[in-house]
Structure 1
Amino acid sequence: MSKLKIAVIISSTRDARFGEKPAQWILEKAKERPELEVELVDLRDFDLPFFNEAASNLWMPSQDPKAVAWQNKISEFDGYIFVVAEYNRSITGALKNALDQAYTNWNKKPFGAVGYGTVGAARAIEHLRTIGTELQMVSTRSAVHIGSGDFFTVWGGGANQPISAIEQSIGPSAKDMLDQLVWWGQATKAQRANETQAAQAAE
């Protein structure tokens, strides 16, 4: 099977965000895996409007060209790693809007998460998993949670050390998450290909 194409999605767009630091770390970790081809995808680069379509693209094509460009981009990938900030016990508004701007493009693909903050974005990642279920996605069991002392060790407002300073703490969960992403990515990619072949044969 060809390599799985995976997007590492930075989900915070605010000027003072921390997300680029863990995003670059997990990007490099994922690139070490021979099964994966990995690309960084930054929500800042897409300037998405708030969702304003008549319905999701499950029911009709989207009209806004920025939404369509986003859908086309995420369609390139076999799976995703979301870099998750926690805002008031949930994901960022920017990420929720990006998820809502597509539907069919997310279907039958796996995702993992790297969360950060005082509780490692644990509540936000659980919310993301619930949203992913509705989008017909598969969540990895394991996620990376950069929380408590680990967070203040690497956060710019704390000691601002490199992520490597806490790798002994978070490295095992990153490996587990990537192992699971590869397994589910290969399984879902194969099944999507089977479904495409069956549909073409029925035409």
Structure 2
Amino acid sequence: MKNTTFPFRKIPGWAIMLLLFGGLYATGLHTEVIGQMQRLLLATGLKKAEVPTTGKNAAALASASSTYKAGTGFQMTTLNGSPIAFESLHGKVIFLNIWATWCPPCVAEMPNIQRLYEKVGSDKIAFVMLSVDRGGIPKVKKYIQKKGYTFPVYLASRPIPEEFYSPSIPTTFIISPEGKIVTKHEGLQDYDTPDMRNFLLNL
């Protein structure tokens, strides 16, 4: 009697990879898996967020002659459904991160943002983790609770202002107490660094 077992060794490598990634996408685990891989990249220290020098920062703020403050008129909603005006945060340093649950680099950098939030806990710094998920509050709330994050999370209840536009996420803005955008970082970054902590606390 002939052996009728399937010759798995003859399956091409590309077919195995296709099946693997297809399975990850089908189960929705691809975001977490890719996010974990990108988290390893952050651990190398190669993606630290750049911080402006004091001189450059002061010059940028001094040259901003406009009295307009970033985010004026923008309305958000908390995960409890309460409305909040972005401009109510003016007067504080604002760490604004635009993200989504389906975005692997967003998932990858969130743990270091949580650590930053815990270390710079201050009434002078406001964290705004702004989700652009279309699933609404329930989806985002479930994700945040599952991960155990404690930083403030919001959803936009009006279109995001033009000054916060970015062609990619995650994107992070740091806004001065005067309402001026001081830095903008697009893509995966490590924010839990001594330079970033000192920058936020001294801005």
- TM-score, length of structure 1 as denominator length: 0.28
Of structures 1 and 2, the larger Rg is shown by 2
Determine which structure has greater relative contact order: mean sequence separation of CA pairs < 8 Å that are 6+ residues apart, divided by chain length.
2
- TM-score, length of structure 2 as denominator length: 0.28
